[in-house]
Chain A
Amino acid sequence: MATKVIMPQLGESVVEGTVTRWLKHPGDDIQEFEPLVEINTDKVDTEVPSPASGVVLKVYVEEGETVEAGRLLAVIGKAGEAAPEAPDGATQKVKAGSTQPAKAKPAETQPVPSGSTQPGRSKDLGFISPVVARMASEHQLDLSLIEGTGRGGRITKKDVQAYIEKGGASAPPAAPWEEPASGELFRPSEEVFGPASGWRGDGGKGKAGEIEPLGPVRKAIADHMLRSKQTSPHVTTVMEADLSRVVAHRQAHKGEFERDGVRLTFSAYFAAAAVQALKAVPIANASLTEGGIQYHGQVNLGMAVSLGEDGLIVPVIKNADQLSLRGLASALEDLAGRARTRQLQPEEVQGGTFTITNHGVTGSLFATPIINQPQSGILGVGAIQKRVVVVESQTPGGDRTDGIAIRPMVYLTLTFDHRIMDGAIGDAFLGHVVKTLETWG
């Protein structure tokens, strides 16, 4: 069956793109991930890698032609296979925010045919039960592609599960919120919504004597990292925080949050503390432009999420300063969940004014993350570890004395742009974060 290639939606408010150069032509062989066509949008020029291996059957848009996002560009299939003549209008619109999967067989990116997401009789598909409808919607499946083994030939839940397991849909990779990434891997937002580049970040095969070219994603990351370091003089300051009160608060409240359907994670507390510090030290929530320092009015907090082999994505909580702990926890859960299933909107990975990255989950005590341009600072969260600390107390006689206690501690690192912030300011910010956490409740 032929695989469709559509014009991706690249970035906020970008609704169309121009085909600048076809790299392959009808009749050419092409490998999955191999660049197929170059396109240009307002924001970026990029290549679209092929979603499948096979032969380019047909091309629908000429070089120089500008078409709306979602439009059919080309079809890849088996040699001799028939290709659809022209794009069928309404069903070509891809849902905003959907992505093509990076690994395994790509699914159809066109939406499920109308009628099949509604439970009820459909002439062609038979009875669609509630769970089948839901799974189809969640995984963006074309039910007409799934064989039904239920009574009367209906598609059962098991049929859908089997279809997914065989690679019929993009099974969301497990990228739980608390899993993370090392702080340096950034994937520019355009890359996320651009064509799946499928770079396998396994660190390379390491064959001696061989030169392994960088895939597009790796290349983009490398460029971004270098650019960032070349733009901002990076300085990192380290502090530690005693999380006893946070741990106690979380223990006391997570049950109540769960009853409201919200998972209360440690990340919510770090987010809340960072937001408060950004309000207290506004220069950490600013960018250096040509004209000078631009102070951002709102706090749009980016939280780095690992996507496994696909690198990192940074969904942004807009107006994070207007959210309570509960609001932040809820927003984090929602964004992380949708990041995992590739259902984030482009706007949700743009517009950040500050970023938090969590390297602690892979064991790092503290690290020196690279600033996510054009922001001016990035907060790194290390591993939460029980450590022996010295605490001051009073003897019955009123004298001050030192004692030893075991506390859940975490190292926090702030990397800041030394063009606009100095050590004192950076420490003021970080100190505020620490104080908020240590006096929680």
Chain B
Amino acid sequence: MTEITLIEGLRQAMDEELARDEDVFIVGEDVGPRGGVFRATMGLFEKYGAERVMDSPLAELSIVGVGIGAALYGMRPICEIQFADFIHPAFNQIVSEAAKMCYRSNGDWTVPMVIRAPYGGGIGGGLYHSQSVESFFAHVPGLKVVIPSTPYDAKGLLKSAVRDPNPVMVFEPKKGYRLIKGDVPEDEEVLVPLGKAKVTREGTDLSVFAYGMMHHYCLEAAETLAGEGVQVEVVDLRSLLPLDKAAVLESVRKTGKALVVYEDNLTCGYGAEIAAIVADEGFTFLDAPVKRLAGPDVPAMPYSHPLQDWFMLNPDKIAAAMSDLAAY
């Protein structure tokens, strides 16, 4: 086992997949010699060359559109969008084209591609370098959406995403790129299946569902609650579409209380769907109302430090919400 950062997990995943399958290639802005503005593709250009680690024009729409074309021809592009905040021009290609291609051609044409982008705030990025966009895409049948929170899952989910024959969006919590460290095995293939959540801390008193950086904050908050005698079960969703619904319901069945935590704006954020599912299918398990703790409903995360802190969730805010729910 070696300890690596989350971004190193992503880099290793891409390195291994490029080595394994010559149809895999990376395309995006600054991914080549620069190695990516976050260094996610560092060293890969030198190793695999310009045809496999390709710098694109500054045009997110065509990063995805051209990627779709290549995928239709049989290749396996990994399209990098530099910041999730800039994915919006590509929305048309992702939603109108990638998501619908298989369905509209009755399976004749498929799009085996990965679109990966760093998302989330807390890094002083202001309105346009901090957005969470997962709810837009988790809403679209035909896409898959995953969000790793650990280096192991980052590596395993990205590798699985590359091998999946459907278009898969991989949103990476940029705050955790170097902050989150974890072990990966050296000599075995790391593959994490899409569609599976993970219980990362077992508990009996309440269930908290989260993903990305929020998952780590929830673990910290759960530790605090343990000191108060409350045992919180923490579930890292990992896969937003398809969702591991059985894991969610099983946890609620066990604890009777559900708290959904997400960094995105509260209204119509992804966690709202979890809450709806629990309220509907887990109704008779519930000992308390289903609670959501999320970002405030303002257009985006502000830049100035105190304003950013006001927007962002943190372990203290989460612990307070857990305490409150536990006492219900």
Report A's interface with B, CB cutoff 8 A: 129-134, 150-151, 156-158
* Pairwise interchain contact A151-B327, C-beta atoms closer than 8 A: yes
* Pairwise interchain contact A129-B287, C-beta atoms closer than 8 A: yes
Q: Which of B4-12, B278-286, B293-301 contacts A (4 or more CB under 8 A)?
A: B278-286
Main secondary structure of the interface of A (DSSP, over half): helix
Instruction: Kindly list chain A residues whose C-beta atoms are within 8 Å of the C-beta of B328.
Output: 150-151, 156
* A-B contact list, 26 entries, CB within 8 Å: A129-B256, A129-B286, A129-B287, A129-B288, A130-B283, A130-B284, A130-B285, A130-B286, A130-B287, A131-B256, A131-B284, A131-B285, A131-B286, A131-B287, A132-B287, A133-B284, A134-B284, A150-B327, A150-B328, A151-B327, A151-B328, A156-B287, A156-B328, A157-B256, A157-B287, A158-B205
Report A151 CB to chain B, min CB distance, Å. 5
Residue of B nearest to A150 (CB): B328
Instruction: Kindly list chain A residues whose C-beta atoms are within 8 Å of the C-beta of B287.
Output: 129-132, 156-157
User: How far apart are the CA atoms of A134 and B288 in the complex, in Å?
Assistant: 14
Instruction: Kindly list chain A residues whose C-beta atoms are within 8 Å of the C-beta of B286.
Output: 129-131
User: How far apart are the CA atoms of A133 and B205 in the complex, in Å?
Assistant: 18
Would you list which residues of chain B between 287 and 328 have a CB under 8 Å from chain A? 287-288, 327-328
Report B230 CB to chain A, min CB distance, Å. 11
Produce 1/0 per residue, B219-258, CB < 8 A to A. Answer: 0000000000000000000000000000000000000100
User: How far apart are the CA atoms of A133 and B284 in the complex, in Å?
Assistant: 8
Residue of B nearest to A132 (CB): B287
Report A125 CB to chain B, min CB distance, Å. 14
The 9 closest A-B pairs by CB, nearest first: A157-B287, A157-B256, A134-B284, A129-B287, A131-B287, A130-B286, A130-B284, A131-B256, A130-B283
Residue of A nearest to B255 (CB): A157
Report B's interface with A, CB cutoff 8 A: 205, 256, 283-288, 327-328
Residue of B nearest to A149 (CB): B327
Residue of A nearest to B257 (CB): A157
Known contacts A130-B286, A131-B256, then 20 further A-B pairs from the complex at CB < 8 Å, ordered by chain A residue: A129-B256, A129-B286, A129-B287, A130-B283, A130-B284, A131-B284, A131-B285, A131-B286, A131-B287, A132-B287, A133-B284, A134-B284, A150-B327, A150-B328, A151-B327, A151-B328, A156-B287, A156-B328, A157-B256, A157-B287
Report B144 CB to chain A, min CB distance, Å. 21
Report B225 CB to chain A, min CB distance, Å. 15
Report B30 CB to chain A, min CB distance, Å. 47
For B205, B288, B327, which residue has the most chain A Cβ atoms within 10 angstroms? B288
Instruction: Kindly list chain B residues whose C-beta atoms are within 8 Å of the C-beta of A133.
Output: 284
Report A156 CB to chain B, min CB distance, Å. 6
User: How far apart are the CA atoms of A150 and B328 in the complex, in Å?
Assistant: 6
Instruction: Kindly list chain A residues whose C-beta atoms are within 8 Å of the C-beta of B256.
Output: 129, 131, 157
Instruction: Kindly list chain A residues whose C-beta atoms are within 8 Å of the C-beta of B283.
Output: 130
Report A118 CB to chain B, min CB distance, Å. 13
Instruction: Kindly list chain B residues whose C-beta atoms are within 8 Å of the C-beta of A129.
Output: 256, 286-288
Instruction: Kindly list chain B residues whose C-beta atoms are within 8 Å of the C-beta of A150.
Output: 327-328
User: How far apart are the CA atoms of A130 and B286 in the complex, in Å?
Assistant: 6
User: How far apart are the CA atoms of A131 and B256 in the complex, in Å?
Assistant: 7
Report A146 CB to chain B, min CB distance, Å. 13
User: How far apart are the CA atoms of A262 and B288 in the complex, in Å?
Assistant: 30
User: How far apart are the CA atoms of A12 and B287 in the complex, in Å?
Assistant: 38
Instruction: Kindly list chain B residues whose C-beta atoms are within 8 Å of the C-beta of A134.
Output: 284
User: How far apart are the CA atoms of A151 and B285 in the complex, in Å?
Assistant: 18
User: How far apart are the CA atoms of A383 and B287 in the complex, in Å?
Assistant: 43
Report A153 CB to chain B, min CB distance, Å. 12
Residue of B nearest to A155 (CB): B287
User: How far apart are the CA atoms of A150 and B288 in the complex, in Å?
Assistant: 10
Instruction: Kindly list chain B residues whose C-beta atoms are within 8 Å of the C-beta of A131.
Output: 256, 284-287
Report B234 CB to chain A, min CB distance, Å. 19
Instruction: Kindly list chain B residues whose C-beta atoms are within 8 Å of the C-beta of A130.
Output: 283-287
Instruction: Kindly list chain B residues whose C-beta atoms are within 8 Å of the C-beta of A151.
Output: 327-328
Report B252 CB to chain A, min CB distance, Å. 9
User: How far apart are the CA atoms of A158 and B230 in the complex, in Å?
Assistant: 12
Instruction: Kindly list chain A residues whose C-beta atoms are within 8 Å of the C-beta of B205.
Output: 158
Instruction: Kindly list chain B residues whose C-beta atoms are within 8 Å of the C-beta of A132.
Output: 287
User: How far apart are the CA atoms of A285 and B248 in the complex, in Å?
Assistant: 48
Instruction: Kindly list chain A residues whose C-beta atoms are within 8 Å of the C-beta of B288.
Output: 129
Report A163 CB to chain B, min CB distance, Å. 14
User: How far apart are the CA atoms of A151 and B325 in the complex, in Å?
Assistant: 10
Report A200 CB to chain B, min CB distance, Å. 33
User: How far apart are the CA atoms of A129 and B325 in the complex, in Å?
Assistant: 14
Instruction: Kindly list chain B residues whose C-beta atoms are within 8 Å of the C-beta of A156.
Output: 287, 328
Residue of B nearest to A154 (CB): B328
Residue of B nearest to A134 (CB): B284
User: How far apart are the CA atoms of A111 and B285 in the complex, in Å?
Assistant: 22
Report A47 CB to chain B, min CB distance, Å. 40
Residue of A nearest to B256 (CB): A157
Instruction: Kindly list chain A residues whose C-beta atoms are within 8 Å of the C-beta of B284.
Output: 130-131, 133-134
For B283, B284, B285, which residue has the most chain A Cβ atoms within 10 angstroms? B284
Residue of A nearest to B327 (CB): A151
For B286, B287, B328, which residue has the most chain A Cβ atoms within 10 angstroms? B287
For A129, A133, A134, A150, which residue has the most chain B Cβ atoms within 10 angstroms? A129
User: How far apart are the CA atoms of A119 and B287 in the complex, in Å?
Assistant: 10
Residue of A nearest to B279 (CB): A130
Instruction: Kindly list chain A residues whose C-beta atoms are within 8 Å of the C-beta of B285.
Output: 130-131
Residue of B nearest to A151 (CB): B328
Report A318 CB to chain B, min CB distance, Å. 29
Report B178 CB to chain A, min CB distance, Å. 41
Residue of A nearest to B286 (CB): A130
Report A130 CB to chain B, min CB distance, Å. 5
User: How far apart are the CA atoms of A106 and B213 in the complex, in Å?
Assistant: 51
Report A199 CB to chain B, min CB distance, Å. 35
